[in-house]
Amino acid sequence: MSGPHRPRDEAVEFTVLPSGLRVVTERMPHLATAALGVWIGAGSRHEREDEHGLAHLFEHMAFKGTATRSARDIAEQIEAVGGELNAETNAEVTSYFARVLGEDVPLALDLIADILTAPAFDAGELAREKQVIVQEIGSYEDAPDELVFDHFMETAFPGSPLGRPILGTPQSVRAQSAESMRGFLARRYRTPAMVVAAAGAVDHAEIVRGAERLFDGLPRNKPEQAPTALYAGGERRVRRKLEQVHLVAGFPAVPLHHPLHEAMYVFSGLLGGGMSSRLFQELREKRGLCYDVQSFFTPFADTGVFGVYGGTGERDAAEFLNVLADEIAKAGETATEAEIARAKAQMKVSILTALESPARRAEQMARHVLAFGRVLSRAELTARVDAVTIEQTAAAARILFSAPPVLASIGPVSKLPAAEAFAARLGIAA
C-alpha cells in the first residue's frame, strides 16, 4: 500500500491500495455531511457491438439486489439514515455515489461495495428494469433538445461505440442478459480502473480500511483500452412537427491531455458561454433569432468534440445558421483580451465552486485521478486557466476547421441550409 500522502491541497489525502484501487478524500471540517462514491473507467464506449446499452443497464441493475440484500433492503438502509444513493453512466465513466451524515459513511461505502461486487441480477428484476429503460428511451425520444445531441454524436463518430446513444435501443437493451452483465462486470470493473472518492465529514484512514476490505475480491489487472474513435463530418436531419428547429453544429476538438485543452474551454466560453458571449449577443440580443444558444467542448481520452446548440423558428433557421457560421469563423482570430479574461474568470469560478460542494468535490477528485493519476490542486487548476493566451485561443479555434463540420437537426428543417453550405460559409471543404 502506498500512502497516504497529501497532495498540494493540505486536506486531500490519496492512497493506492495493493490491489491497484485508489482512494482519495478531502476532509471539510465545517461540514456534518459527506459525499462518497466509486468512479469506474467504464462507460458506453467500452461496450462491444452486442452490448449496446449494457453499461447503463448494469448501473440500473446494481440497485436491484445483491447476494445478501434485496432492492428494498438497499433503499431502506440508506434512507433510514437520511441518505441517498444514486449512479450515472456516461461515455467513459460510470459512478455510484451517496450522500450521508459523516457518521454513516461506513454504511454507505458498504452498500456501494455490495452492489458492485455481488449484484444478484435476478431474472424478474432484470425483466422489469429492461422495460423501465425502454420507457426511458421513449421519453428521451420525446425530448428533441436532448435527442439532437445523440444524433450529433452518431454523425460525428459513425460506427464507433462513442457515437452510440448511452441508453441503447429497445432492441439492444432487451437482448442483454445476466450473463452479458456478468461478463461486462468482470471485464471492466477492475480495481486499477476504479477510484473511491469522498469529501466532507470523512476520515481517510477509515475509508481506506473499508475499501481495502470491501473491494478485495475484484479483478486486479487493468482493463483493455476502448477502440479508437475517429471523427467524421456529416449531416443528420430529422423532420418533425415542432415549434422549433433544434440543432447542434459541431467540429473536431482536442482530447483531454492536449496542450490546448484549457484554451479550447476558453474559446467555448467567449463564443457561447454566457450572456456576454458573442453568440448570445448576436443571435439573441441583437437579432432575436433564438431563446437559447450555447457552445460546449467535450474532451475524451483520445479525441474531442466542440459544438453549438441552439433552437430557432422555421422561418429564422437559415439566418440563424448563417450568422452562427460567421461568428464561429471570426471569433478565434478577433477575440479580445477582455473577452478572454471574462471567459477565464467564468472557468475559474466554475472550478472553484466545485470545491465548495462535497458531492462535486468528490467527483472532481475522482475524475482527476482517473485522468491524471493524481488530484490537481486548486492553485494548479487556476494557473492552467490563467496561462491561456490569446494566441493559444486562436490556435484552439483553428482546430475546428481541420475537418468538415457536423450538422444535426430535429424539427421543421426544410429551410435549414445543408451541411455543405454551412461548411462553405465557414471556409471548410465539405
pLDDT tens, 27-75?
999 999 999 999 999 999 999 999 999 999 999 999 999 999 999 999 9
Instruction: Return the CA Rg of the chain.
Output: 23
Grid coordinates standing for 387? 496561462
Q: Residue 169 and residue 9: Cα distance in Å, rounded?
A: 44
pLDDT band at 354 (very low <50, low <70, confident <90, very high): confident
pLDDT tens, 169-216?
999 999 999 999 999 999 999 999 999 999 999 999 999 999 999 999
Q: Residue 141 and residue 158: Cα distance in Å, rounded?
A: 20
Contact 303, 231 (CB under 8 A): yes
- Domain shared by 163 and 240, yes or no: no
Residue 120: how many other CB atoms lie within 10 Å:
19
Contacts (Cβ under 8 Å, ≥6 apart) of 124: none
pLDDT at 430: 59
In a domain, 222, yes or no: no
In a domain, 226, yes or no: no
Closest CA to 350 of 374, 379, 389, 381: 381
Q: Residue 295 and residue 308: Cα distance in Å, rounded?
A: 4
pLDDT at 356: 87
In a domain, 219, yes or no: no
- Domain shared by 47 and 149, yes or no: yes
- Domain shared by 148 and 245, yes or no: no
Average pLDDT over residues 372-383: 94
Q: What is the CATH number of the domain that holds 382?
A: 3.30.830.10
pLDDT at 355: 83
pLDDT at 9 over 90: no
pLDDT band at 8 (very low <50, low <70, confident <90, very high): low
pLDDT band at 429 (very low <50, low <70, confident <90, very high): confident
- Domain shared by 130 and 276, yes or no: no
Report the run of H or E that residue 322 belongs to, with start and end: helix 317-334
Closest CA to 124 of 172, 184, 71, 51: 71
Which residue segment(s) compose the domain that 17 sits in? 2-214
Closest CA to 428 of 410, 406, 409: 406
pLDDT at 195: 98
Tell me which of 182, 214, 246 is where a domain ends.
214
- Domain shared by 97 and 165, yes or no: yes
pLDDT tens, 116-144?
999 999 999 999 999 999 999 999 899 99
- Domain shared by 121 and 26, yes or no: yes
- Domain shared by 186 and 262, yes or no: no
Catalytic residue among 51, 59, 129, 154: 59
pLDDT band at 290 (very low <50, low <70, confident <90, very high): very high
The pTM assigned to this predicted structure is 0.93
pLDDT at 252 over 70: yes
Angle between helix 337-354 and 378-386 (nearest 10): 170
In a domain, 229, yes or no: no
pLDDT at 6: 53
Query: How many domains, the chain?
Result: 2
- Domain shared by 200 and 240, yes or no: no
* Ramachandran quadrant class, 121 (left: phi over 0; alpha: psi -120 to 50; beta: rest): left
In a domain, 225, yes or no: no
In a domain, 224, yes or no: no
Residue 178: how many other CB atoms lie within 10 Å:
15
Beta-bridged to residue 213, according to DSSP, are none
- Domain shared by 179 and 296, yes or no: no
- Domain shared by 62 and 205, yes or no: yes
In a domain, 329, yes or no: yes
Tell me which of 179, 214, 249 is where a domain ends.
214
pLDDT at 65: 95
- Domain shared by 285 and 358, yes or no: yes
In a domain, 364, yes or no: yes
Q: Which residues of 71-105 are buried (b: 16+ CB within 10 A; e: fewer)?
A: beebeebbeeeebebebbbebbbbbbbbbbbbebb
59 is catalytic: yes
- Domain shared by 262 and 377, yes or no: yes
pLDDT tens, 306-339?
999 999 999 999 999 999 999 999 999 999 999 9
User: What is the percent of the chain with per-residue pLDDT over 70, rounded to a whole number?
Assistant: 97
pLDDT at 10 over 80: no
Strands across the sheet containing 2-5: 2-5, 12-16, 22-27, 194-200, 33-40, 94-101, 84-89
Q: What is the mean pLDDT of the chain?
A: 95
pLDDT at 341 over 60: yes
Q: How many CA atoms are closer than 13 Å to the CA of 365, on its beta-carbon side?
A: 33
Grid coordinates standing for 40? 469506474
pLDDT tens, 386-428?
999 999 999 999 999 999 999 999 999 999 999 999 999 999 8
Q: Residue 238 and residue 129: Cα distance in Å, rounded?
A: 29
Tell me which of 214, 242, 274 is where a domain ends.
214
